[in-house]
Amino acid sequence: MTPYDPLDMTNYRIERLPKRQKTRFEKWLALSGPFLAVAAFILFGFLIKLAFLQDIDPTQLVSEPAKTAYDKLGSLGFTRSNELMLGIFLASLILWVTEAIPNYLTSLILIISLVLSGVLGEKQAYAQLGHEVMWLNIMSFVLASMLVTTGVAKRFALWFILKFGKNASFIFLSFIVINLVLSAFISATTAKAAILLPIFMVIAAIYGAQGGEGRNNFGRSIVLQNLFQINIGAGGFMTGSGANLLAVALISGAIGSKVFFSDWMVAMLPIVIGTMLLGYFLAMKVFFPLSPEKRLPQIEGGMQRLREEYQKLGRVDVQEIKAVVIFIAILTMWATDRIHGISPTAVAFVGAIIALLPRIGILNWNEVDIPWHLMLFSAGAYTLGAGLSATDLPSISVNAFFDHAGIGDNTPFWILYLLLTGVMLFSALVFQSKTMRAMIFIPIAIGVATRFGYSVLSLALPVAFLIEHVYVLPFNSKPAALLYETDRYSLGDAFRFGFTMMVIAWVLIIIAGETWFRTLGITPHGVFDLF
């Protein structure tokens, strides 16, 4: 039997990672999930009658179905569709969080439940699979497959590490640059994790990190920092993930004009870079400090193995050059969208078509890796959003909450800003889907801004900027679940580092709202009194 080689990159492919055993609590959640979901659906869909409607100003309702229902039912309470939507929403949320059944299966159940309950028509429910963001995701996976097939992403990451990773500190800083560059080109955080995982796992092994009892601070730090950077890097670009683009679509629909790639990048990229550097500093100095001896390679000739892996790629060939040219062209088109007005989806579409062209292109369809289970999961989240929109449940809930809490229409802007950004950020601790959080909280932010007479951008865009903070617990995102399987850190390690970074991110977004976002015209002048 061939002995296990910790420096063999093939050992760290996703399909070869050992399956982590669930904890007792996780097993309890999985077992209880279906029963809790059914109970929530019955209670809120049929038994509990919510009498919020008498407190709702009908002028605040957005969709025609909600206005019609209000006119018919007056102050009798939630409409039947509202009650069913709430029951389906809560049941789906429980199934997603507890992972009682696969996420894609929850999405399929959710879609047919909305149809059979009459909340959505079949055409509207099923059409979500053809949502613009779904197409962007598909095209992004085509382009990501091009990077993987040609070896461009791996070559860049290995070259950068070998060129600048002269010691432990520079290795960690190198991954910040690598993650930022990949975030600009790849719209799937899971794809980035799959590309980088074998590289930083070999580096972790070189510095003595192992799983289980063999964990050390280098391993904890390099895996958790990469998890943090993979997600946060996506926050620097509107195309960083499908959830970002969905949020932009919702906001653009509310304001009647476009939010451009360049608008998002100028606002968030400096904050993302600053947050990554703070994460690096805290990981190295506070949470996972390295003694001088632990900053040295523990396996002789380890970096040479990386160099050999890099040399196996050979010289840069024509296909790799084509891939680089296509991606630079795509990024240029995205960054200049304010000038030409072509949507990111259309740009990705053209890039994917060129990559797939016979003879001229780079790869064929059989080489494209599209995770359709994730597509179905996303389709379910979009359908959930369509149901929330059709029933106006977010708007009704927002108005009911503020009315019952006694919060008047003269509430200072900064209180609303703190509340909405805080709820959006820390909701990531319990939600598994970035898309679902965007579907829920962006409409709420739009509703709050409309109710209190503030610009939709002033509240909805800062909320959207916080979508990518999904790195604290394993179920918070696909990269989090994937990297937890490496067994290089514990839940406690992830929570201490991740929750601290969430709090820091909230502080930074608050400061940005008072300073940088004001300068850019996102938040209004003269309404904050924090500083």
Would you list the DSSP string of 9-42? GGGGSGGGSPPPPPPHHHHHHHHHHHHHHHHHHH
User: Hey, where are the domains in the chain?
Assistant: 9-520
DSSP secondary structure string for all residues of 474-514: GGG-HHHHHHHTT-SS-HHHHHHHHHHHHHHHHHHHHHHHH
Which residues have CB under 8 Å from 365's CB, separation 6+?
356
Task: Report the share of the chain in percent with pLDDT over 70.
Answer: 84
**Which tokens sit at 442?**
């962006």
Round to whole Å and give the CA distance between 340 and 278: 36
User: Is the separation of the CB atoms in 105 and 39 below 8 Å?
Assistant: no
pLDDT at 5 exceeding the cut of 50: no
Whole-number pLDDT of residue 502: 94
**Nearest-angstrom CA–CA distance, 333 and 354:** 15
Residue that wins the pLDDT comparison between 58 and 358? 358
Closest to 144 measured CA to CA, from 281, 348, 436: 348
How far the first Cα of the chain sits from its last, in Å, is 66
Average pLDDT rounded to a whole number, residues 106-123: 88
Tell whether the model's pLDDT for residue 276 goes beyond 90: yes
- DSSP class of residue 211 equals S
| Token pair for 284 | 């190295």
- Please say if the pLDDT value at position 377 is more than 60: yes
* Residue 351: count of CB within 10 angstroms of its CB: 21
Q: Does the structure show a pLDDT above 90 at 332?
A: no
pLDDT in tens, 290-304: 887 777 666 666 677
Do 491 and 473 contact (CB within 8 A), yes or no?
yes
Q: Determine the residue type at 98.
A: T
Q: What is the pLDDT of residue 505?
A: 95
pLDDT tens readout for residues 215-240:
788 888 888 999 999 999 989 988 88
Element holding 144 (H helix, E strand): helix 132-150
Of 401, 389, 395, 385, give the one whose Cα is nearest residue 59.
Answer: 395
User: How far, in Å, CA of 330 to CA of 326, rounded?
Assistant: 6
Amino acid identity at 366? N
Task: Give the tokens for residue 364.
Answer: 């064929």
Per-residue pLDDT, averaged over 376-398, amounts to: 75
| pLDDT-based confidence at residue 406 (cuts at 50, 70, 90) | low
How many CB atoms within 10 Å of residue 188? 22
pLDDT digits (tens, 9 = 90+) for 481-508: 778 877 788 888 889 999 999 999 999 9
Taking the CA atoms of residue 219, residue 224, residue 181 and residue 185 in that order, the dihedral angle to the nearest 10 degrees is: 120
Give residue 76's pLDDT: 38
